[in-house]
Amino acid sequence: MIKKQPYMNFGAACLFLIFSLLFFVLILRYFSIQITGEVNGQNLVAKAQQKYSRQGVLEAKRGDILDRNGGVIAEDTASYKMVAILDKKATTNPKDPKNVVDPEMTAQKLSQYINMSEEDIYKRLTKKGAFQVEFGQAGSNIDPSTKDKIDKLKLPGITFVRDTKRFYPNGIFASHVVGYTDRVEQKDGTHQTVGKMGIEKSLNSELTGKDGKINYESDLWGYLLPDKKEKITPAKNGNDVYLTIDQKIQTFVEDAMNNVANEYKPKKIIAIVADPKTGEILAMGQRPSFNPETKQGITDSWHNEAIENSFEPGSTMKIFTLSAALQENVLNLNDTYTSGSYKVTDNAPVIHDWNTSGWGNITYLEGVQRSSNVAFAKIANEKLGFDKFRQYLSKFGFDKPTGIDLPNEASGKILFQYPIEKATTAFGQGTAITPIQQVQAATAVANDGKMMKPHVVDKIVDHDTGKIIEQKEPEVAGTPISAETAKKVRDVLETVVTSPKGTGYSHYQIDGYSVAGKTGTAQIPGPNGAYLTGPSDYVFSFLGMAPKDDPKLIVYVAVQQPQIDNYEKGAIPVSEIFKPVMKNSLQYLNIQPSTQKTAAVSKLPNLSGKSVSDAEKSLKDKGFDTVVLGNGQKIVAQLPKAGTSTLDGEKVIIQTDGDIPAPDFTGWSLRDVMKVANMAGLKITSNGSGYVASQNIKAGAILRNGDNLIVDLKPPEDLWNQAAQAQDQNANTNNGANGSNGSNGNDGSNGSESNGDKPKNQ
pLDDT single digits (tens) 23-39: 777 777 666 666 655 55
pLDDT, position 703? 82
Q: Side by side, which strands form the sheet with 691-695? A: 683-688, 708-714, 691-695
Q: Answer yes or no: is pLDDT of 114 > 70.
A: yes
CATH of 59-242, one of 3.40.50.11860, 3.40.50.2000, 3.40.50.920, 3.90.1310.10: 3.90.1310.10
288 preceded by a cis bond (ω within 30 of 0): yes
Minimum mean pLDDT range among 203-217, 489-503, 544-558:
203-217
Q: Kindly report the pTM of this predicted structure.
A: 0.71
Minimum mean pLDDT range among 165-174, 405-414, 644-653, 741-750:
741-750
Angle at 337 between CA 332 and CA 342, to 5 degrees: 125
User: For the domain 247-588, what is the CATH code?
Assistant: 3.40.710.10
Comparing CA positions, the residue from 503, 565, 498 lying closest to residue 720 is 503
pLDDT, position 761? 36
Angle at 603 between CA 601 and CA 606, to 5 degrees: 155
Tell me the Ramachandran region of residue 466: left when phi exceeds 0, alpha when psi lies from -120 to 50, beta otherwise: left
Give the CA distances from residue 478 to residues 81, 167, 174, 183, 449, in Å, rounded to whole numbers and listed in that order: 53, 39, 28, 41, 8
Using CA of residue 243, residue 247, residue 252, residue 255, what is the dihedral sign?
positive
Name which residue leads in pLDDT, 530 or 633.
530
Residue 649 pLDDT grade (very low, low, confident, very high; cuts 50, 70, 90) = low
Across-strand partners of 711?
Answer: 686, 695
User: φ and ψ at 164, to 5 degrees?
Assistant: -130, 155
Residues 427-469: pLDDT tens digits?
Answer: 999 899 999 999 999 999 999 999 999 999 999 999 999 999 9
Measured distance CA(259)–CA(574) in Å, rounded: 11
**Are 414 and 421 in contact, with CB atoms under 8 Å apart?**
no
Residues 125-184: pLDDT tens digits?
Answer: 998 888 889 998 888 888 888 989 999 999 999 998 887 889 999 999 999 999 999 888
pLDDT, position 312? 95
Average pLDDT over residues 50-69: 75
Residue 190 pLDDT grade (very low, low, confident, very high; cuts 50, 70, 90) = low
Residue 339 pLDDT grade (very low, low, confident, very high; cuts 50, 70, 90) = very high
pLDDT, position 145? 86
What distance lies between CA 644 and its chain's CA centroid? 52
pLDDT, position 737? 39
Measured distance CA(712)–CA(688) in Å, rounded: 6
pLDDT, position 609? 74
pLDDT, position 669? 75
**Local structure of 158: helix, strand or coil:** strand
Q: Answer yes or no: is pLDDT of 52 > 60.
A: no
Minimum mean pLDDT range among 114-118, 156-160, 481-485, 523-527:
523-527
Residue 568 pLDDT grade (very low, low, confident, very high; cuts 50, 70, 90) = confident
Q: Are strands 65-66 and 240-243 parallel, antiparallel or unpaired?
A: parallel
Q: 370-393 burial, b for 16+ CB within 10 Å, e for fewer?
A: bbbbbbbbbbbbebbebeebbebb
**Local structure of 647: helix, strand or coil:** strand
pLDDT, position 751? 33
Q: Say which CATH topology domain 601-733 has.
A: Trypsin Inhibitor V; Chain A (3.30.10)
Q: Per-residue DSSP letters for 651-692?
A: EEEEEESS--BPP--TT-BHHHHHHHHHHHT-EEEEEESSEE
Average pLDDT over residues 87-102: 87
**Are 238 and 209 in contact, with CB atoms under 8 Å apart?**
yes
Q: Quote the DSSP letter at residue 189.
A: S
pLDDT, position 439? 98
pLDDT, position 224? 47
Please pick, among 79, 289, 310, 315, the residue that the annotation labels catalytic.
Answer: 315
pLDDT, position 252? 96
What distance lies between CA 704 and its chain's CA centroid? 60
**Are 106 and 121 in contact, with CB atoms under 8 Å apart?**
yes
**Are 342 and 378 in contact, with CB atoms under 8 Å apart?**
yes
pLDDT, position 749? 32
Q: Which uninterrupted H or E stretch holds 758? A: none
Across-strand partners of 457?
Answer: 243
Angle at 342 between CA 336 and CA 344, to 5 degrees: 115
Q: 141-155 burial, b for 16+ CB within 10 Å, e for fewer?
A: ebeeeebeebeeeeb
pLDDT, position 385? 96
Name which residue leads in pLDDT, 618 or 762.
618
Q: Quote the DSSP letter at residue 316.
A: G
Residues 307-333: pLDDT tens digits?
Answer: 999 999 999 999 999 999 999 999 999
Across-strand partners of 470?
Answer: 460
Give the CA distances from residue 231 to residues 50, 54, 55, in Å, rounded to whole numbers and listed in that order: 15, 11, 9
Average pLDDT over residues 280-291: 97
pLDDT, position 748? 33
Angle at 448 between CA 249 and CA 578, to 5 degrees: 30
Q: Answer yes or no: is pLDDT of 412 > 80.
A: yes
pLDDT, position 702? 85
Other beta carbons within 10 angstroms of residue 44's beta carbon come to 12
Based on the residue annotation, tell me whether 541 is a catalytic residue of this protein.
no
Residues 671-704: pLDDT tens digits?
Answer: 778 878 877 888 877 776 667 788 888 888 888 8
Minimum mean pLDDT range among 119-133, 471-485, 662-676:
662-676
Across-strand partners of 542?
Answer: 519, 557
| CA torsion angle 58 61 62 67 (round to 10) | 180
pLDDT, position 722? 55
Name which residue leads in pLDDT, 260 or 718.
260
Angle at 332 between CA 328 and CA 335, to 5 degrees: 145
Average pLDDT of the chain, as a whole number: 83
Angle at 268 between CA 263 and CA 271, to 5 degrees: 90
Other beta carbons within 10 angstroms of residue 39's beta carbon come to 12
Q: Answer yes or no: is pLDDT of 731 > 60.
A: no
pLDDT, position 372? 96
**Are 513 and 488 in contact, with CB atoms under 8 Å apart?**
no
Measured distance CA(228)–CA(240) in Å, rounded: 36
For the chain, give every domain's residue range: 16-54, 59-242, 247-588, 601-733
Measured distance CA(58)–CA(101) in Å, rounded: 32
What percentage of the chain carries pLDDT values higher than 70?
82
**Are 414 and 380 in contact, with CB atoms under 8 Å apart?**
no
Average pLDDT over residues 543-554: 97
pLDDT, position 89? 84
Residue 738 pLDDT grade (very low, low, confident, very high; cuts 50, 70, 90) = very low
pLDDT, position 744? 33
Average pLDDT over residues 350-373: 93
Measured distance CA(364)–CA(370) in Å, rounded: 10
**Are 110 and 170 in contact, with CB atoms under 8 Å apart?**
no
Measured distance CA(139)–CA(182) in Å, rounded: 18
Name which residue leads in pLDDT, 279 or 46.
279
Average pLDDT over residues 390-396: 97
